[in-house]
């Protein structure tokens, strides 16, 4: 899968869409939110083409996934009413990478959306889950061996301005190329378990050469102590 236009084109289109939003947009219902914003975000701003998206697909458990991205599905997006605001707790240093547990605890609507989309991902085999109410969008691992999805991390875009300011990251994670290359899953896995830095000795080609003195160095050391 490949976007038919460049990242910069998508960012300009997103700015245009957001600037044209009506003042009463928070009153949109779920269907209007999908049509007015999520559809346009995916297709006009992130480079998705309709043949690569399935919508409102029912599963064997009676669930209905709003958007399935990729064939087979690699990510599932659950769209909520824009009036369903996610109450996000403040943090000292602004970042879009957040622990998901505090967000679930502080916001019942966010918790319900997260718990709703996880089974959809499990039954369709999609590793990445997305929840979006319009101005707020979260991306997290729905399937992570050895970890509960509710104990991991997520990328959180909190407000339309956050979409614009962090559009490079949004494109990297949710464009067709980003989903195909599993960028969100890999980045979140590294964020959860960062690699241990290499030992300082790893940058020295012959560490033992400097650790042990040869006979000449020992003689110099003895001589220096004699004149000290």
Strand partners, 107: none
**Which CATH code of 3.50.70, 1.10.3470, 3.90.1570, 3.30.2420 fits the domain covering 7-192?**
3.90.1570
On the 0-12 / 13-18 / 19+ scale of CB atoms within 10 A, 199 is exposed
pLDDT > 90 in the chain, percent: 60
pTM value?
0.81
Report the mean per-residue pLDDT for the chain.
Answer: 85
Tell me, what's the pLDDT at 201?
55
pLDDT tens readout for residues 36-67: 899 999 999 999 999 999 998 887 777 789 99
Q: Six-digit token pair at 1?
A: 């899968």
In whole angstroms, give the CA distance from residue 71 to residue 41: 19
| Res. 11: pLDDT tops 70 | yes
Least confident of 56-60, 88-92, 151-155, 207-211: 207-211
Task: Please state the domain extents for the chain.
Answer: 7-192
pLDDT: is 135 or 221 the higher one? 135
Which of 225 and 112 is assigned the larger pLDDT?
112
Q: In angstroms, rounded to a whole number, what is the distance separating the alpha carbons of residues 77 and 28?
A: 18
């Amino acid at each position: 899968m490949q976007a038919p236009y460049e990242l910069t084109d998508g960012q300009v289109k997103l700015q245009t869409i957001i600037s044209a939003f009506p003042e009463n947009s928070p009153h949109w219902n779920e269907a209007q939110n999908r049509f007015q914003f999520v559809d346009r975000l995916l297709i006009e701003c992130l480079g998705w083409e309709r043949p690569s998206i399935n919508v409102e697909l029912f599963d064997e458990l009676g669930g209905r996934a709003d958007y399935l991205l990729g064939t087979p599905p690699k990510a599932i997006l659950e769209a909520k009413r824009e009036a369903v605001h996610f109450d996000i707790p403040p943090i000292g240093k602004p970042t879009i990478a957040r622990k998901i547990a505090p967000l679930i605890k502080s916001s019942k609507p966010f918790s319900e959306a997260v718990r709703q989309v996880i089974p959809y991902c499990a039954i369709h085999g999609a590793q990445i889950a997305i929840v979006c109410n319009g101005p707020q969008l979260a991306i997290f691992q729905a399937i992570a061996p050895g970890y509960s999805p509710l104990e991991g991390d997520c990328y959180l875009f909190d407000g339309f301005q956050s979409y614009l300011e962090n559009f490079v990251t949004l494109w990297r994670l949710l464009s067709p190329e980003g989903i195909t290359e599993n960028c969100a899953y890999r980045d979140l896995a590294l964020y959860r378990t960062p690699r241990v830095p290499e030992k300082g000795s790893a940058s020295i080609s012959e560490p033992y050469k400097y650790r042990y003195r040869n006979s000449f160095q020992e003689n110099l050391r003895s001589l220096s102590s004699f004149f000290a």
